[in-house]
Structure 1
């Protein structure tokens, strides 16, 4: 759980410690151009690279990208195949550069649904970048927040049944330690592209006090200017965390 920074960001304030992004609009971007959906996802991967670079330049310490939801498994089989193939290619092609740039990669979500080749690529990328200290990059794959919360609740229930946990002493910190994001700070800012204004089952527990910025552009068009605009919006807000100020 993240500690609360100064309640009023204001001009000259440091950047948010943790930015999370719902990368939405790849399909619509491709369809608007008469292109195969696969090309929209590839353009989206390029936008992810630009966002990583923008986050490092801005001094953001944690960046989480919502790349593939648990609901995405219900998409057409050829699109799912393209997404998983693109994921493996990205991990293998980018891991050396991420390591050189000091980026530590971590994947959260239900890995069991991926094939062996994808799992090996994820494991290898995490191991190769484990020493990165400049940016903590988390990619949410096969991720759904409700399933994450349910899994944490089950883990707590099992611990209680075994006598390892007193239910009366289960607090927010102990519960959060059972989430996929254990050890990570909560997001300060969540950005969503494509004009949609919802969280879509993303970081529901962790987003309790996150600032939300919704941008109209589609994800493949997202770049450093858009990222900085979201940070500027964030800096102008007064963060109260439920407290009454003034």
Structure 2
């Protein structure tokens, strides 16, 4: 066996000690080499699920605006939404049963805008086959003001009400728990669930204000993305030239 020179023995021992110290230090800082997923975040990810839910609901309530897009299933009907909402109204598009229309609410005034095919189809479903083409042509591409006492007002105004809509959507059902760290459009999130996901799931931003960013509703009742928190947008009633007074109860299915 070839003997190792004393000087080399000392160098080997020193290198080994330095490596051991480095490994020990890294383990102490990162937990045996793994990165802390909450490092550099708003810290919400370290909180209990119930606390996270309370914080994200408060953040949503305090925000002046939000954009909500995705699907909602209500009473067996699937609605595809793309709505921008604020405290005094909202605007955007809704698609249901193959028909698309736009909604605009400013204060208590609700307007509905759709093409002639939409109006003709609604008239036909209600048994009105006489003169429906003329009425549909009159309404096409125009904002129709919905009377507050009309059933359609109650049916559609909820899609334009930020507080009502978010309050009804953001709740999870069952026992709350966290379900790991995720990412939505490049933003790190913490996911909370109800009853291990069967009661819904909500991704909450770990960057800045803990806004809710993605909601998977319980019972396969839809998936919604929530974006543009706090980004203002214009909201005003259409001009008289763009508006039609229907003059009677709106045709709705």
Same fold (TM over 0.5): no
TM-score range, shorter chain: under 0.3
Higher strand share: 2
Larger radius of gyration: 2
Tell me the TM-score normalised to structure 2 length. 0.23
Tell me the TM-score normalised to structure 1 length. 0.23
Q: Which has the higher relative contact order, 1 or 2, with Cα contacts under 8 A spaced 6 or more apart?
A: 1
